[in-house]
Structure 1
Amino acid sequence: MCCGEDAVLGLPAPVLEALAGYRRMRDAHGWGWGEGALPDLFRWARFSLLGPAFDAAAATGDWPAAVRAALGDGDPPAGVAVVTAGAGGELTVRTGPPRPGPAGASLPIDVVVLSDAREDRTVSVAGTAVAVPAGGVGLAVVDVDPAAPAVPVTCGPARADVVAVREVPAARLRVSAPVCARWSVTDATGGGWGPPGLPAKWDVTHRPYWHAREAEFDVPAGPLEVVVARGLEYRRTTLTVDPAPGGTAEVTWEPQRRFDPAAAGWYGGDLHVHLNYSGDAVLEPADAARMQAGEGLHLVQLVAGNLGGALVYDRELLDATAGTELWSGDRVGVAGLEYRNGLLGHVHALGLAGVPEVLHSGDEGTAAPWDWPPNAAVCAALRDRGGLATYAHPVYSALTDVGQLYAPARTVEARELVADAALGLVDAVEVVSCFDDRGAVVLWHRLLDCGLRLAAVAGTDVFLSFAHGPGVASNPPGWGRVYAHLGGEQLTAAAFRSAVAAGRTVVTNGPWPTLGVDGAGPGAVLDRSPGDRLAVRATVTGGGVERLVLHGAGGAVLAETGGADLEVEVPVETGTWLAAAAYGDDDEHTLGAPVFAHTGPVFVDVGGRRVAVPASARWCLSALGALEALVTAEGRFDPAHRDEQLGALVDVVERARAVYREVADR
């Protein structure tokens, strides 16, 4: 028995054929599915020490050195074996504590190959060839049966056996809850256990997890830790059991709420989720529905998108269902599109009733190799089809300087957002995402300062088909989410879209903030006179919060507290906006630390005029100058039409300049 939340969804024939094609690609090429444009980092996504290695590589840029630093000189952790190919061709092996398991189990072991040779080598790990450059590193992930624990490794005539598992007696574990939940079951070495038939996943902390309402499955006899969670709104619970050989241990979980936004009309969604995106498993929409249920997430948008090549994953699902809901009721699922251009930025659009003609651009080796059309045209096309034009994961850095947004060239940041927002072509921006939320806040606040009313949304960009990272990519959907106030309407994709378009949103990766300005909430527009005073109250519920802040126009922090409640009177002389934000460090409920939440703003017009901060307008003008320089130097344009295509982008920039110059002059 796996999951009482499993749904049987009737899928159109083209979708079934696409899924069958994905399985053939996965079986033929492994977890990369033959994706030639797969970033090198993704090839290490299954490495259990990816986090420390990635941090070291970010500091030095030397990946082999980063892997060696993450491994250290002592014994590696359980589940990791280190094979060193010496300069003379010899092989040495280091392993940590062996993972326990009953006969017949399949335990994944990371075999990291380090080369001390001066020439390139090929090392065979259980029959899989691992190419290792001179002085470099390689990785193979091998599934091992504890009844046959030796993994053969050869390099030329040299041979060694890796033994990183041990056989122990079998037991059973039975878990249940009144609702679908996220379960994590680990043995004393940290190895994960779960029911067969469900996708095995690991979050950013490398904790294994799966979703079910009830399940019963084999485990090793001995101590086990069981962690149960259900998204942001419920308390995480940790339990221990110790099943005897041949025995069965039982765990029953009763969920306890941390907060209940839906009781006040707020419904949570994740607008940026990839169902299939290469990876370890080929998933069906029913898998996403189960994960959504297990996270207590009201709405999920499964976006089709390419990964740098010509293949647009899950396009058939979008083609077949655009304009309809995949499932409805107390949870809603929809298919969407992530339009990807690595130079100008990525855009998605909740509520698409049709599929645009162009699905991506700027990808060499495809039918769309040029950075054209401008994203402005793309936003307009998405809107024409009913979509809510939204820039994804806007900033990779803390954005302490505007130039950070425009170098290096292709980092998939929201470069054209500053222009498209000024032209009224953008509805929302991911303030909570897989990138740097601090930088997203800086950019978003600058745009708000110029009288642009962009809604704050959240999109995690998780890859459901990936078992492991990189980073937060294999987190559960909804680890960050946008809450939309539906104003008493029933939960539907259309109602959610309308609420976001009206700015009635809160974004969070853990805590729950509220804001009231003269009794009005996020998205409200108040008309006041010079000298009026506004009664403001903000609150926050949830762990890990160190500061509750009231933000205002021009970078102002109008009030701040280390507590959970803030009340203040704010005088106004000119147009402004007000929003509450919560900041912190770590919390067990937050899988995308640091802890962060931000309400949508309440807009305050004074004398009928919107906010206009000249300094922010000048900042945006600097951004437009950097954008024009970037596309001129780095843009890929059809040589036969370069002037026309570059000119179209420059025209977008120039029209946006007129908007910001007007604000700057005020």
Structure 2
Amino acid sequence: MIRLLITVFTTFLLWAVGVTDRNTPGSGRLHVDIRDAATGKLTPVRVRITQLGKPVAAVPDEAIAVSYGLWDHADGFAFQPDSSFYVAGSFTMTLPPGTYQLVVSKGNEYLRQTHSVAIKPDQEIRQTYRLARWINMTTRGWYSADGHIHIRRSLRENQPLLNWIQAEDINVGVLLKMGDFWETYYPQYAFGEKGIYRQGNYLLTPGQEDPRTPEIGHALGFGATSSVRYGRDYYYYDMVFDEVHKRGGITGYAHQAESFHGYRGLMLDGLRAKVDVLELLQYCVSDKPLRTKHYYHMLDLGFSLTATAGSDFPWCGHDHDHGPPEQSAQIGNARFYTYLNGPFSHQAWLAAVAAGHTFVTSGPILDFRVNNALPGDRLSLKTGDKLTITAQAYGHSRQLPLDSLEIIGHGRVLGRITRNDPGQSASHLVITLNLKSIERGMWLAARCYGGGQQAAHTTPVYVTIDGGGFHNPETAGSYLNQSEKYLQELEKELETKQDNPESRAWYYQKGLKTRIEETRNVIADLRKRLSTH
């Protein structure tokens, strides 16, 4: 990931067209307005200007600039890693004669536009572009969020950062204070209600990615009245989770619990019911953003987890450390939607996330119903009852083409259709299953794949029969065995004192062993309980 930003910024410097002198004789002047096609009002957008494939090394005065970078360093300011910039709706630039390409975008729901503009000597050009939505999710009650953004924030940064998330059409931007064993980064000026900054249907809210260790993963917390950090007990994540819950927040694991051995922490804390969410979709681990291995593990054992997603800006991009700058780190490249059955507010959004009314996506839109129950709902049935399961995926044939849509039950594909099937298309897929005479509980979800590694996945609907659970008796034994292997991995880490100052689990050997034994007791109880149902 470090290579990513180094590559982005050095490539930009080497490739950029040298348009920096605004007083070059014969230069032309370009003025651009970007308006929302529905409202006619100026709207915040992302703009990238190139000439002959190379980015222009200049930004307009109207570019919205905020300092950002890896480890809270000032690696970027007005330019984004792909050489684009944000504006609040209009900008003016002086450019040498030539032909330029402008790409104007506003998140996933708007149709991206590409324009060619010819600048002639001493000419003034005025252009107005109108961005249209191909779908409007807020009118359906669904609000988007990037749950993983790293930028330090004082009161001064509130407005420009809100413009940034408005330019990506993200309703909720979660700004995470980051920590490690030694230090914290990306500070937030306040937590709780005092840390929320809102205009209309867009808001900023603080959170934390702390603790973070290479042995048991990266923890998430947001919605609490204050941040929580125990420096002397740093590896005891459960202490942080319990306190975040007391302060009204939600806890979970980042990076699909894959990187930094997060699956160990997920087993240690998740099996003891300390975890609310799992970051299911992101470009940090792979260029294939949807990673479900550890999610299905927990679900099949009967633990409900809300699916969330986040960009991990400025760390992670579509290219996963490789590829051209235009595929680099970007706010909103992974996001999740939350359904609110009522007016938008931070508290309503937080409650809906806690209830699991979400789906994660890098583009495709999902609509999933089980007997009209939504993702996160618990559906209580009786033996022999019927289920009607409907999944729909929405995309755009050019910008967000769909490939396939699946209904998943207990990790297995129960139904699948593709855009080549009769009645289906690259912009709309729909599948309905009717299950008769349900005999046991299960979790059900929808999963979609699209072009360019795009993907989406819902939080499940949890179906129970006659008051039972939704676990999978066919896989419970093997998943419990795997959980034990993860605990054994961690125990092995504890036996050797590490010279690496970043690896300190051995120092907390006594407390971690106690927690491992507590988790083993849970596993033993689950073996008895799940084997009889």
TM-score (norm 2): 0.82
1:456 lines up with 2:318 in the alignment: no
CA distance in 1, matches of 2:509, 2:113: 61
1:348 aligns with 2:209: no
Partners of 1:626 and 1:42 lie apart in 2 by 36
How far 1:621 moved relative to its partner? 2.3
Q: CA deviation at 1:628?
A: 2.4
Cα separation, 1, equivalents of 2:475 and 2:111:
41
- The amino acid that maps onto 1:546 is D
Cα distance in 1 for residues equivalent to 2:415 and 2:45:
38
8 Å contact from structure 1 (residues 484, 496) kept in 2:
yes
Q: For residues 637 and 221 of structure 1, what CA distance do their matches in structure 2 show? A: 59
Q: Kindly indicate whether the alpha-carbon contact (under 8 Å) linking 2:217 and 2:261 is maintained by their aligned counterparts in 1.
A: yes
Gap runs ≥5 in structure 1: 1-37, 50-77, 81-97, 106-166, 278-282, 359-366, 397-404, 406-410, 587-593
Q: What is the DSSP-based 3-state SS (H/G/I as helix, E as strand, rest coil) of the residue aligned with 1:499?
A: helix
CA distance in 1, matches of 2:106, 2:116: 18
State how 1:560-571 maps to structure 2 within 5 Å: 560-562=416-418, 563=424, 564-571=429-436
Q: Describe the shift of the 1:642–1:338 C-alpha distance in structure 2 as closer, same or farther (beyond 3 A).
A: closer
Aligned pair 1:378/2:240, yes or no?
A: yes
Letter in 2 for 1:295: E
Within the alignment, does 1:505 sit opposite 2:355 as a pair?
A: no
Q: 2:106 aligns with which of 225, 230, 235?
A: 230
Matched, 1:597 2:462: no
* Counterpart among 264, 269, 273 of residue 420 in structure 1: 269
Q: CA deviation at 1:313?
A: 2.0
Secondary structure of 1:478's match? coil
Residue in 1 that maps onto 2:402: 545
Q: Distance in 2 between matches of 1:333 and 1:415?
A: 31
- Looking at structure 2, the residues matched to 610 and 438 of structure 1 have their Cα atoms a distance apart, in angstroms, of 30
Distance 2:54 2:185 in 1: 33
Does residue 481 (structure 1) correspond to residue 332 (structure 2)? The answer is no
What does residue 115 of structure 2 align with? 239
Aligned counterpart for 1:329 among listed residues 193, 196, 200? 200
Cα displacement (A) at 1:41: 6.2
Counterparts of 1:225-624 in structure 2, within 5 Å, are: 225-276=101-152, 284-306=157-179, 308=180, 310-318=182-190, 324-339=195-210, 340-358=212-230, 372-396=234-258, 411=260, 413-434=262-283, 435-436=285-286, 440-463=291-314, 475-488=329-342, 490-542=343-395, 543-553=400-410, 555-562=411-418, 563=424, 564-571=429-436, 572-586=438-452, 594-624=453-483
Following the alignment from structure 2 to structure 1, what is the Cα–Cα distance between the partners of residues 297 and 529?
Answer: 12
Task: State the AA in 2 paired with 1:559.
Answer: G
SS in 1 for 2:200: coil
Measure, in 1, the Cα distance between the counterparts of 2:404 and 2:278: 23
Unpaired segments of 5 or more residues in structure 2? 35-41, 66-77, 419-423, 495-502
1:653 match: 519
Cα root mean square deviation, aligned? 3.1
What is the CA distance between 1:268 and its match in structure 2? 0.7
Counterpart CA distance in 2 for 1:39 and 1:537 is: 42
- Report if the CA contact (8 A) 2:364-2:450 is conserved: no
Match of 2:489 among 630, 645, 656: 630
The 3 A distance-change label for structure 1 pair 276 and 643 is closer
User: What one-letter code is carried by the residue in structure 2 that aligns with 1:46?
Assistant: F
Deviation (angstroms), 1:241: 0.8
Once the two structures are superposed, what CA deviation does each residue of 1:409-430 show, in whole Å capped at 9, x if it has no partner? xx26343112322211111111
The 3-state SS of whatever aligns with 1:79 is helix
Distance 1:512 1:39, change over 3 A: closer
Counterparts of 2:257 and 2:401 in 1: how far apart (Å)?
Answer: 24
C-alpha contact (below 8 Å) 2:2/2:315 kept by paired residues: no
Distance 1:354 1:598, change over 3 A: same
Instruction: Name the CA shift for 1:665/1:290 in 2 (closer, same or farther; >3 Å).
Output: same
Partner amino acid for 1:386?
A: G
Q: Tell me the alpha carbon deviations over residues 549-569 of structure 1, each in whole angstroms, 9 at most, x when there is no partner.
A: 00111x221111113111221
Question: Any idea what SS the aligned residue of 2:344 has?
Answer: coil
| Matches of 1:348 and 1:638, distance apart in 2 | 19
Alpha-carbon shift at residue 304 of structure 1 (Å)? 0.7
Distance 1:643 1:375, change over 3 A: closer
Secondary structure (helix, strand or coil) at the match of 2:440 reads: coil
Report the CA distance between 1:188 and its aligned residue.
Answer: 1.9
Judge conservation of contact 2:379–2:462 (CA < 8 Å) in 1: yes
